[in-house]
Structure 1
Amino acid sequence: MDGHSCSEMMQVAIEWIGESDAARLDVDAFIVLVSPEGVQHGSMRQAWNSLLLPLMERHLFQGAPFQTYAMPLQGRGEYRTVIFVGVGERPLTSEELRVAAAQAAKAALKMRVKTIAWELSSPLVAFTVEQDAATAAQALTEGMILGAYRQQHYKKHAAPYDGIEQLLFLRKGSASAAEKADWELGIRRGLAYAESVCLARDLTNLPGNMLVPDDLAKAALNVAAKYGFESSVLDERQLKELGMGGLIAVGQGSAHPPRLIMIRYQGREQWEDVIGLVGKGITFDTGGISLKRRVGMEEMISDMAGAAAVLGVMNALGRLKPAVNVVMVIPTAENMPGGTAFKPGDVIRSYNGRTIEVLNTDAEGRVVLADGMAYAREQGASKLIDVATLTGAVLTALGDVATGAVANDDTMLEEFILASKRTGEKVWPLPAYKEFWDMLKSDVADVKNSTGSRGAAITAGLFVGTFAEGLPWIHLDIAGTAFLAKERGVNPKGATGVMVRTITEWILAQEAAK
């Protein structure tokens, strides 16, 4: 088994040094940001200018945004390399800087380097739109770690390479105490965000036979124990006693019984103004009796990506320790077509007493989320975010490019979308008109779990929203963005860990607003 999580390996730091000190560093590779204008004006270190000018003359490297070029350094040994990363002629946004760093990391992985020194311009903020050292530091740190991620594999024979182990940012000259503090803050946040995304990716990429509901519960308890969080796991007996009919129904066809996981983060003296995070934790989804088609079913290992996302957020909170209160709830089950599986036509009673008419057992995520939302409310949540790989319909609307959002509170949603713009994770709001809510009405129960194909991404989200019972709420459908067929930007093929960074960013903004 190989492919360590990027978050476990890479150490990141910054040093302010002289130019001669940089040349003597004992590292496997240097990374240098390059703008064509900088090369033409000779503003870069002479050692790099002398290499870049011939490359540009031969059109091998033009310094275009995200373009990379790696070459050995003569007389420096077999593994001494420089990686040039283009930034173009205009300042980069923090997201573009993040992607540039990810490209540099991927180039470094191909050369199997372990230690990297990244030479920064003086000041680096000249390359950025935001003109903020902390933002730039965070973007570079996140980009390098996320770009260096390698999915775990299980091959018998694998070359012994553990990935990038050390990244050292180098800034020539002196810096003020405020700038140094900004850099340290940015690196600390970048490490917390990226480590937490890697955690979510690792869990989501696990094969279904290696992650059943009890395994997910153990992973959550490990995070809670790491930071001393209060936590609990309800087993199938307790779920039945409490009347969590939705979670029990979805999980009853599997040999692996369901679980309900809860973690509390208390960053304020009083348990009030509590943010509730609810993540869909279907560890494998066959569709149940309403069986999915065979092609592509293997990707249903990712149907717990919502649970992985909210657990990643809790990890980030443990590292950053903001003054907020958060309760995380994960209803987790395996949706299988066994002899005891729930069936189309069943009517089940959820935890808050509301009844659900089951029209499609492949619309199971919203059914378990119903119990999770009610439990989060019971734990004191005063506003709610649920995260789920909920519908194929969101793929039809937004592809694998953007996460679909439905909400009952416009201000909360606007604040969340602003947070997503800072993290570079695309979120697109879908309408929540009264007519869509009306489509959920059932003739025999309080709500039905499927409304057909029309407006399905919206009505599925609104189904979950009925269990918010009037509390401010956002639903995030990550069915398209949680698992990619090929790498893009800072994301690899496979699990992306999407929404970990944006939810964390939004939570930190809530702290700042207090």
Structure 2
Amino acid sequence: MSVLFTYGARAAEQAVPDAVVRFVGIEELGAGGPAAAPIVQPQIDEAVRGLYARGLFKGETEQTETVSTLGLYPAAHIVFAGIGQEGGATGLRLAAAAAAKALKKLRAGTVQVLLPEQLIRDINGGIGAERAAQALTEGLLLAVHTRQPLKREQKERFSLQEVAFVPQGASAGDQAAWESGIAKGQLYAEGVSFARDLTNLPGNDLTPERLAFHAEELAHELDLEIEVVDEWSAAEQQMGGLLGVGQGSINPPRMIVIHYKGNPNSEETWGLIGKGITFDTGGISLKRAEGMQEMISDMGGAAAVLGAMRIIASAKPAVNVVAVVPTAENMPSDRALKPGDVLRTMSGHTVEVVNTDAEGRLVLADGLTTAITRGATKLVDVATLTGAVMVALGVEATGAVTNNDDLLKQVLGASERSGERIWPLPAYPEYKKLIRSDAADLKNSGGRYAGTITGGLFIGHFAEGLPWVHLDIAGTAFLDSSRGWEPKGATGVMVRTLAELVLHRE
């Protein structure tokens, strides 16, 4: 994203912008008290306060009002964006996202964002300038990044060109902190946008081999070591889960491994594993036709891991990370995996396949083993794993299952900082009984009850006792309608959470 961001007094000196954004609090809009203070310009202030008095603009979070200045102000339009009562980084991110959507309607490429003195003071006394700048930048960039359709008459996707943050009043804030936060916000937005664009690719374009190609391009761009295991090498390494899922497709599977070595002297290595089913028909246990086109998103976990690696490698932290993407296409054919088949995974554990549509956990089993054999000491897997997580949590939160409360606490902390909700689910020993098999060590489905938990615990069986967290993004990776900073279609969820998890230092 080649958007030029500036902050401070010099930013106010730029050429007349296409539009101005002014964040406004409820207390500024009411009669009397602080409302006597100027907002932008007397006549415009009177107009927006009149809208508030009539209940048309309440200054709530995610609410905006666009006012034509009619020559009363240098810019043609002012977008008033409410900051409401949400507060914190999430409130700022939502307010910026709402403003960005209004700017998109105006096709305003050059923008000046006015930061009222009270907002600056609240930021300085609360989350701090760096986090605030990051949240505002992410909100502005992510809200305008939407799916690019493939059409005969291809139109250029709208994007912001220049954004100037201009503090009003005496409290200018820490310029260095603002500039650092802006840079971080841009980097995080780039990682999310990369993941979204990858996830939105159609299945006839993004085969396992093509996903490996995109990963190789990313690794070469960032000077990372990459290993792509083809079907022949996978057979040599006895990746029975990956090969079993992929055997029904003409497009063979791949196991992608990317190494980031930021601290060679450390024995600790993060293992990030992302489910990469490039299209999921359900195999022999065929899905219903309605909505199956959305199964292009079944590699959303892989996209999240690759997007996070883009951020991590660019930030260059002193940590080690191995990213693993087991990728396959789950198709029905005369060669396809059948219910009742028994697979031997890379770890040596055997699995009875009772449902070929529970395929993600089979490739992730080999993915975790691959990460462990490459040196991972703590594991986080991300997967569009179960429809059951949507029954439990809807599309509002990602479900989590773990064997280690300390690691889960770190993940939840990263989630809070990113604004991407995660809700932990129990992992009682009784749930493991549901995936016991009479024909093998495990079966790949425990039935309808506790489906998200048993799916997660199946994957956790292959963690070999290492600290592990599973994140089920089936409800949050692909949306039917936009919300906040997330568009319709692929959201790139968990990219920023994974990046925060690896980069954050207490």
TM-score of Structure 1 vs Structure 2, range by shorter chain: over 0.9
1:473 lines up with 2:473 in the alignment = no
- Paired position in structure 1 for 2:62: 66
1:25 Cα shift?
Answer: 3.2
Distance across 2 between alignment mates of 1:100 and 1:77: 23
**Is the 8 Å Cα contact of residues 93 and 138 (structure 2) preserved in structure 1?**
yes
- Paired position in structure 2 for 1:205: 200
Distance across 2 between alignment mates of 1:452 and 1:331: 24
1:413 Cα shift?
Answer: 0.7
Matches within 5 A, 1:18-167: 21=12, 25-39=15-29, 40-46=35-41, 48-75=44-71, 80-88=76-84, 90=85, 92-122=87-117, 124-128=119-123, 130-157=126-153, 159-160=155-156, 162-167=158-163
Which of residues 280, 303, 307 is equivalent to 1:285?
280
Distance across 1 between alignment mates of 2:254 and 2:362: 14
Deviations 1:409-431 (A, max 9, x none): 01111221122122111111111
1:351 lines up with 2:346 in the alignment = yes
Normalising by structure 1, we get a TM-score of: 0.92
Distance across 1 between alignment mates of 2:158 and 2:488: 19
- Paired position in structure 2 for 1:4: none
- Paired position in structure 2 for 1:14: 7
- Paired position in structure 1 for 2:309: 314
Q: Tell me which moved more, 438-447 or 286-295.
A: 438-447
Secondary structure at the aligned position of 2:251 is classed as: coil
1:397 Cα shift?
Answer: 0.7
**Is the 8 Å Cα contact of residues 17 and 173 (structure 1) preserved in structure 2?**
no
Change beyond 3 A, Cα 1:345–1:230: same
1:270 Cα shift?
Answer: 1.9
Distance across 1 between alignment mates of 2:171 and 2:98: 28
Distance across 2 between alignment mates of 1:93 and 1:182: 17
Deviations 1:173-201 (A, max 9, x none): 6778x812211221122112111111111
Count of matched residue positions in the alignment of Structure 1 and Structure 2:
499
- Paired position in structure 1 for 2:453: 458
Distance across 2 between alignment mates of 1:92 and 1:367: 42
- Paired position in structure 1 for 2:32: none
Q: Which amino acid aligns with 2:212?
A: A
Which of residues 224, 228, 233 is equivalent to 1:233?
228
1:351 Cα shift?
Answer: 0.8
Matches within 5 A, 1:313-392: 313-392=308-387
Distance across 2 between alignment mates of 1:160 and 1:402: 32
**Is the 8 Å Cα contact of residues 16 and 172 (structure 1) preserved in structure 2?**
no
Matches within 5 A, 1:212-291: 212-291=207-286
1:159 Cα shift?
Answer: 5.0
**Is the 8 Å Cα contact of residues 125 and 131 (structure 1) preserved in structure 2?**
no
1:92 Cα shift?
Answer: 1.7
Distance across 2 between alignment mates of 1:379 and 1:160: 42
Change beyond 3 A, Cα 1:154–1:91: closer
1:306 Cα shift?
Answer: 0.4
Q: Which amino acid aligns with 2:18?
A: D
1:419 lines up with 2:414 in the alignment = yes
Secondary structure at the aligned position of 2:372 is classed as: helix
Distance across 2 between alignment mates of 1:436 and 1:360: 18
Secondary structure at the aligned position of 2:260 is classed as: strand
Unaligned runs of 5+ in 1: 1-7
**Is the 8 Å Cα contact of residues 146 and 488 (structure 2) preserved in structure 1?**
no
Q: Which amino acid aligns with 1:137?
A: A
Distance across 2 between alignment mates of 1:76 and 1:210: 51
Distance across 2 between alignment mates of 1:64 and 1:354: 54
Distance across 2 between alignment mates of 1:388 and 1:160: 31
**Is the 8 Å Cα contact of residues 486 and 494 (structure 1) preserved in structure 2?**
yes
Distance across 1 between alignment mates of 2:238 and 2:46: 72
Q: Tell me which moved more, 435-444 or 383-392.
A: 435-444
Q: Which amino acid aligns with 2:107?
A: R
1:242 Cα shift?
Answer: 1.3
Secondary structure at the aligned position of 2:21 is classed as: strand
**Is the 8 Å Cα contact of residues 79 and 113 (structure 1) preserved in structure 2?**
no
**Is the 8 Å Cα contact of residues 117 and 171 (structure 2) preserved in structure 1?**
no
**Is the 8 Å Cα contact of residues 97 and 484 (structure 2) preserved in structure 1?**
yes
Secondary structure at the aligned position of 1:428 is classed as: strand
Deviations 1:400-452 (A, max 9, x none): 11111000001111221122122111111111111112222211211111111
Q: Which amino acid aligns with 1:450?
A: S
Secondary structure at the aligned position of 1:362 is classed as: coil
Distance across 2 between alignment mates of 1:159 and 1:365: 36
1:171 Cα shift?
Answer: 2.3
**Is the 8 Å Cα contact of residues 350 and 356 (structure 1) preserved in structure 2?**
yes
Change beyond 3 A, Cα 1:247–1:131: closer
1:85 Cα shift?
Answer: 0.4
Distance across 2 between alignment mates of 1:161 and 1:199: 14
Distance across 2 between alignment mates of 1:361 and 1:244: 17
Q: Which amino acid aligns with 1:143?
A: G
Unaligned runs of 5+ in 2: 30-34
Q: Which amino acid aligns with 2:344?
A: R
- Paired position in structure 1 for 2:435: 440
Secondary structure at the aligned position of 1:189 is classed as: helix
Q: Which amino acid aligns with 1:16?
A: A
Distance across 2 between alignment mates of 1:317 and 1:161: 27
Q: Tell me which moved more, 324-333 or 431-440.
A: 431-440
Change beyond 3 A, Cα 1:360–1:97: same
Change beyond 3 A, Cα 1:159–1:257: closer
Q: Tell me which moved more, 432-441 or 353-362.
A: 432-441
- Paired position in structure 1 for 2:190: 195
Q: Which amino acid aligns with 2:21?
A: I
Distance across 1 between alignment mates of 2:74 and 2:20: 14
Distance across 2 between alignment mates of 1:349 and 1:117: 59
Change beyond 3 A, Cα 1:494–1:243: same
Sequence identity percentage:
49
Distance across 2 between alignment mates of 1:55 and 1:330: 52
